[in-house]
Chains A and B, each alone.
Chain A
Amino acid sequence: MPIANHHAAVPVIVDEDKCIADKGCTVCIDVCPLDVLWINEETGKAHMKYDECWYCMPCEADCPTDAVTVNIPYLLR
């Protein structure tokens, strides 16, 4: 049986169809206090590079195209 030794999902999901990071937008990256959001070199879109989220939400709130969704874990809600 394979052993799951890494997270398959991160809490911050970026909708690549909506994200305009490839046009030069860096709003979510700029507001993140932990600097865990990054631009994906291949697609030019934002994504969560490090899973160290505080669930503070400005990335979701400030995204001009509503592309960011933060999934807050059940126990923190």
Chain B
Amino acid sequence: MKTYDDPELQAIAVKLASDDPGIRRVGVLDLVDSGEPEAVELLLLALRDSDTSVRQEAAKVVDEFEAEDMADALIAALGDSDEVVRNAAAHALADLKDPAVAEPLLQALEDSTDGFVVAGILRALKPLRHPGSQRPALARLGDESAVVRREAVGVIGWLKQPENLPALVETAQHDADPEVRRAATGALVYATPNQVGQALIGLLKDEHWQVRCEAANSIGKLDYQDAVPALMESTRDELWQVREKSVDALGKLGSVDAIPVLGECAKDAMSNLRKAAIGALGTIAHSDGRPFVVTALDDPDPDVRKLARWAMSKLDAAA
């Protein structure tokens, strides 16, 4: 056993060398509070421990240490027999954002069947944008676990490859899980407006309100002008959250045709919607919107009044 100068660390090292897994586990608990750089060595030791509870405990504290110092050990931990350890390793490696770990992550992805771990590995792969993650991610879009499908959507969204768009549109439209549909709808923004615009218009009618919100958002980001009529219809959605996002999007598109509809929304009972409407009218800055903004100057909600003054300045500047 290696000896350490720091007495605290030395005490931990003694515990970690114990035959009793319980004592080794407590040693790992103490490791977190040690500020010594050599503590990483002991953590690596604990990650390779023969006892699962010790490895799990070590995996829990992995993110307290610099992942750079233990990349190799983390990659090895990706092949651990315990899921908790594999997942913690994937997360710590994700923080690393080092392209070199993509290959081992992909290998671990091949070997994993547990949904929780697969999702963790996909999440780690996402920011690396490795071309090799495209095929497995596309395959996982058909996974039975919604969490996995959601992460697969994330990977594909970050890859930004035009050839993945049909699969992404398909997921946005037909996945059984609303959160997966929402994520896919949000991921479509890397396309050109004409590739996904019609699909997004359709998604404004999704049965789940968060998907409808996201669709309005994406249309705004893509600046898809052909969606103005559909967005105007969405400003009459049954939920104000969807109405708000649609109003925001109309503002982003700078649609003068939508001003009467935005004026309607500026009279809505929900102050958040009034705020969004006045914001949109200010962004469009067209004189047709002025009467609505003038009315909003006396709005009961101070936030709306504040925004109305801002909108007035935009209108005056444009005039």
Pairing of A with B: yes
Q: Residues of A at under 8 Å CB distance from B?
A: 20, 22-25, 27, 64
CB of B29 within 8 A of chain A?
Answer: yes
Measured CB to CB, the closest approach of chain A to B46, in angstroms, equals 13
User: Which residues of A lie under 8 Å from residue B29 when comparing CB positions?
Assistant: 25, 27, 64
CB of B239 within 8 A of chain A?
Answer: no
User: Which residues of B lie under 8 Å from residue A24 when comparing CB positions?
Assistant: 15, 23, 26-27
Measured CB to CB, the closest approach of chain B to A62, in angstroms, equals 10
Q: Residues of B at under 8 Å CB distance from A?
A: 15, 20, 22-23, 25-27, 29, 57
**CB distance A64 to B57 under 8 Å?**
yes
**CB distance B57 to A23 under 8 Å?**
no
**CB distance B22 to A20 under 8 Å?**
yes
Measured CB to CB, the closest approach of chain A to B72, in angstroms, equals 27
Residue of A nearest to B22 (CB): A23
Apart from A25-B25, A64-B25, list 12 A-B contacts with CB within 8 A: A20-B22, A20-B25, A22-B22, A23-B22, A23-B23, A23-B25, A23-B26, A24-B15, A24-B26, A25-B26, A27-B29, A64-B57
Alpha-carbon separation in the docked complex, A27 to B27 (Å) = 12
User: Which residues of B lie under 8 Å from residue A20 when comparing CB positions?
Assistant: 22, 25-26
Alpha-carbon separation in the docked complex, A75 to B275 (Å) = 42
Question: Which 7 residue pairs are nearest across A and B when measured between Cβ atoms?
Answer: A23-B22, A24-B26, A23-B23, A25-B26, A23-B26, A20-B22, A24-B23
Residue of A nearest to B23 (CB): A23
User: Which residues of B lie under 8 Å from residue A23 when comparing CB positions?
Assistant: 20, 22-23, 25-26
Measured CB to CB, the closest approach of chain B to A27, in angstroms, equals 7
User: Which residues of A lie under 8 Å from residue B27 when comparing CB positions?
Assistant: 24
Residue of B nearest to A64 (CB): B29
Residue of A nearest to B56 (CB): A64
Measured CB to CB, the closest approach of chain B to A36, in angstroms, equals 21
Measured CB to CB, the closest approach of chain A to B108, in angstroms, equals 26
User: Which residues of A lie under 8 Å from residue B26 when comparing CB positions?
Assistant: 20, 23-25
User: Which residues of A lie under 8 Å from residue B57 when comparing CB positions?
Assistant: 64
Alpha-carbon separation in the docked complex, A22 to B27 (Å) = 13
Alpha-carbon separation in the docked complex, A26 to B270 (Å) = 52
Measured CB to CB, the closest approach of chain A to B222, in angstroms, equals 44
- Can you pick out 20 interface pairs between chain A and chain B where the beta carbons lie within 8 Å of each other? A20-B22, A20-B25, A20-B26, A22-B22, A23-B20, A23-B22, A23-B23, A23-B25, A23-B26, A24-B15, A24-B23, A24-B26, A24-B27, A25-B25, A25-B26, A25-B29, A27-B29, A64-B25, A64-B29, A64-B57
Residue of B nearest to A20 (CB): B22
Alpha-carbon separation in the docked complex, A20 to B29 (Å) = 12
Alpha-carbon separation in the docked complex, A24 to B14 (Å) = 12
Residue of A nearest to B20 (CB): A23
Residue of A nearest to B60 (CB): A64
Alpha-carbon separation in the docked complex, A20 to B22 (Å) = 7
Measured CB to CB, the closest approach of chain B to A61, in angstroms, equals 14
Alpha-carbon separation in the docked complex, A23 to B29 (Å) = 12
Alpha-carbon separation in the docked complex, A8 to B29 (Å) = 33
